[in-house]
Structure 1
Amino acid sequence: MQTAEGRFIDAVVEGLSFTSGDQTGVTDSEGTFVYEVGQNITFSVGAVEIGTAAGSDIISPVDLTGSNSTMPDTQNIVRFLLMLDSDGDSSNGITISNEVQLMAENWTQPDFTTDLLDGELASIIADVMAVDNRIPVLPSAMEAQAHLEGTLACLTSGVFKGTFSGQDNGTFLLWVQHERFDPLVFGDDTPRVGVTSALVFSTDENLVSGVAPQQGLSFDSEKLFISGLVSTGAEFTGELVDYQTITNGSWQNSIFNESGTFSGERLAGGEGAVYRLSGFFNLQGFGFTADDSGLVALDIMTDNSVTGVMVTLRGDETPLTGTRTGNDITVSGGGNSFSLSFDPDGSDSANDLALGTTSGFLGTMTGASGTSDVIGTSCQPD
């Protein structure tokens, strides 16, 4: 029997009971569970079962329902878990108190497919109020959807490098942003969540193309994404296994009647980061090129050290290291030096024209070819 660890994320959830084969336990402050490889895992709060999914590195409510963030059963599970959070603040994770876990052994299974969840949970909410000595709040379905999509968007955010083949061949850089402010693209000042864009380099044609940003994440159990439409007419779609690996990638170009496949892997974005940053760089005064355009991914750790990688559209990777001092980030590697102004919470009005109220960074990168502009966004992963 082989076992592995995973994490339950709807924000990190502490206090969920789990069963997978002979493995049983309760998730800790990191949402950690143990499962038998190849077996399902079932999660519950006392006598209330919230769902079952195949064992995996990361499991969220969409995996339990096999649907997506817009479905009532998914939203109701999220609403239930948020209501159970002992301090009512999901930004620091969801904690189900020991007292609630004990009381929950006497609860009756609610119907998570109902449109009237408040009625289904009336007695449970009363119990939580009594044992936690607080007034629990049941969020609306819309609030639950926004919460879940924000969590999954941050989990997915970052830089992915891959190659494509078929009737055209080359390199592909996928950029997933937790949130993007872009009035020129979206037509208003409202940030969009789960935005995808990309850079594509055809080695066959020696041609560089950009992919227009769009809300490309599907927030479903299959973890589907669409990167958007390339300026040449091609469109890339795929799945993100455990938010790390692009699988079942395919592309097609209806203009030239071309198609093929692609795959890729995440760059940087390791566990333990306080902030996950990803952005775009391009040589000042020039259009996209294979060697002077690309993406950068950075992780800010608890000690304010910074590690990451920059990758050109040709596919050349350079490790980066540096530090964060206040709102300034300096990193370097391979003869390239980045100087970035970091806005961790989107409150810096000096960055509003470029970032709006979205957390992110602006700056420059100096290298052998000259000075490049750098812009990107950030989030705080669970």
Structure 2
Amino acid sequence: MYKLSLSLVTIAVLALAGCHGDDEVQPNAAAPTIASGMFKDSSVSGLTFESGGERGITGADGSFTYEVGNFITFSVGGVILGAGIGAAIMTPVDLITHGSSDSPQVKNIVRFLTMLDSTPPLSDGIQISSAVQAVANSWNPIDFTSIDLDADLASIISDVASVDARTPELLNTEDAKAHLTSTLLCLNSGAFVGTFSGGDQGIIGFYVSSGTDTTYGDYAFTNKTSGINDVYGIAYSTNTNRYARISGDNIKYGTRFIPIGHNDIRRFISGAPDFSDIDGDLVTTAELESTYTGNFTTPNSTSGDWIKRIPFPATSGVFSGARIGGAPDALYRFSAQYFTAADTNHTQDAGLFTFDIDSLGNVSGLVYSIVNNTQESLAGNAVDLGSNGLQITAASGTTITGTIDLSEGKITGGVWDDGLNNGLFNGSGCRLN
């Protein structure tokens, strides 16, 4: 009898425990944050992407969604291109560990993608047709480290030719690198504004050229086309109320200056030459007043360290900045830095222009005065190759004119005038989408 009663009690206790367990509210894992991005080797549409629970096909502009902090994988049917931590802008470089535009694996991915483009030219973006997406489900994986990609892709190229009714072109490795480089140059270019602090403090602005400049430099313009992302800028000290002009001209100043690397680090080194002869030694071009070493941690942000050697003793600190303007879906992106004419003391207005141009030639953008730490909108129009074809007006009434070449990505003969100050400028740009 005692044993029976104990058994009944035990069963009752277990039953109650079970009921309590069913009613207990278990904490839910935090829902992942979803963000959107774009895949660029020019814009690539028709790629399959997967990031956690996010999955789909990239849109006409290369758009995709991803779980923040999670990996995202890109593929075409059975061919996996690679994976990387999701970001607002991703390129073939981001799919390979320590990738760069020189990596054989990266160049082979570019060769594969450009071969799939159903709507040449490549400048209009890479579009993978629905027919190719369908037949790609039967494709086997590709080893992008292969030294004989032509042979490895033979059957795939045959499939593409059949379903797209065209003759696919497989670029050589150097042409593939050139194509990717043009994409990276455009993605990196633009205007960035932030602050610097440490032994001095103030506002800093960077102008990143698109690599298409033909006339730029420090005081005397130098004629060259760089093909690299030189980093220029303005550092305005709120302690001295004076700005320093930052140069990235590695032709004039040699290996002391490094343009943005087309890799996962995106490091650069630029400097402020001692133009104002602060140390009084009558040398104004060979010395560096200060050096700025940093990384573009994303195409939209930068940070790093600075050191000022002149005047002695040296001071140092850190800087950071973020892109201003520059819509990711713009057709064309242009930017420039401006200075007040004959401002030898470096105290008058100086800053950055950045603007987008749509297919109708409408211009919208921003002007940022680094000296005054103010921003205002720009609007106007651009006529390709027209004399003074660039006509822009700022919200305050400042006029900005110049000759613009959309295909070459150049602004020449630029003039700005706010009614009180004025000056000349040249700029660069590119087709982004």
> Which of 192, 195, 201 in structure 1 is aligned with 2:236?
201
Q: TM-score under structure 1 normalisation?
A: 0.89
2:413 matches 1:380: no
Looking at structure 2, the residues matched to 285 and 253 of structure 1 have their Cα atoms a distance apart, in angstroms, of: 24
1:135 is aligned with what amino acid?
T
| Conserved? CA contact 1:172–1:198, under 8 Å | yes
Alpha carbons of 1:273 and 1:183: their partners in 2 closer, same or farther (altered >3 Å)? closer
In the other structure, the counterpart of 2:348 is 291
1:291 CA displacement: 3.0
* Structure 2 contact 244–272 (Cα < 8 Å) conserved: no
Using the alignment, how far apart are the partners of 2:66 and 2:362 within structure 1? 33
Q: Which residue of 2 aligns with 1:35?
A: 66
C-alpha contact (below 8 Å) 2:79/2:141 kept by paired residues:
yes
Q: Counterparts in 2 of 1:248-263, with a 5 A limit?
A: 249-253=304-308, 256-263=313-320
2:5 match: none
Give the structure 2 partner of residue 245 of structure 1: 301
Residue 107 (structure 2) aligned to one of 59, 75, 88: 75
For the Cα contact (< 8 Å) 1:171–1:315, is it kept in 2?
A: no
Q: Is 2:410 the counterpart of 1:359?
A: yes
Q: Which residue of the partner structure matches residue 22 of structure 1?
A: 53
CA positional deviation for 1:15: 0.7
| Alignment-derived partner of residue 169 in structure 1 | 201
CA-atom RMSD in angstroms: 2.4
Distance 1:13 1:192 in 2: 23
Superposed displacement of residue 281, structure 1: 1.9
Which one has the largest radius of gyration?
A: 2
2:227 aligned partner: 192
* 1:171-220 C-alpha deviation (Å, 9 max, x unpaired): 22111011222597998744423222122223334443222224611111
How far 1:169 moved relative to its partner? Answer: 2.0
Residue 355 (structure 1) aligns with: none
Instruction: Give the 3-state SS of the residue equivalent to 2:123 in structure 1.
Output: helix
- Unpaired runs of 5+ residues, structure 2, are 1-30, 250-257, 275-287, 384-388
**Is 1:307 matched up with 2:330?**
no
For the residue of structure 1 that corresponds to 2:113, the secondary structure is helix
Tell me the TM-score normalised to structure 2 length.
Answer: 0.79
Bigger shift: residues 229-238 or 140-149: 229-238
Residues 141-183 of structure 1: CA distance to partner in whole angstroms, max 9, x if unpaired? 1111111121111112111112111122222211101122259
What's 1:210 paired with? 245
Secondary structure (helix, strand or coil) at the match of 1:199 reads strand
Structure with bigger strand share is 1
Distance in structure 2 (CA, Å) of the matches to 1:11 and 1:226: 27
Q: Match for 2:423: what amino acid?
A: S
SS in 1 for 2:73: strand
Q: For the residues of structure 2 that align with 1:335 and 1:294, how far apart are their CA atoms?
A: 16
Task: Determine the structure 1 residue equivalent to 2:22.
Answer: none
Q: CA shift at 1:296, angstroms?
A: 1.2
2: CA distance, partners of 1:306 / 1:280: 17
Identity of aligned residues (%): 34
Q: Which residue of 1 aligns with 2:404?
A: 342
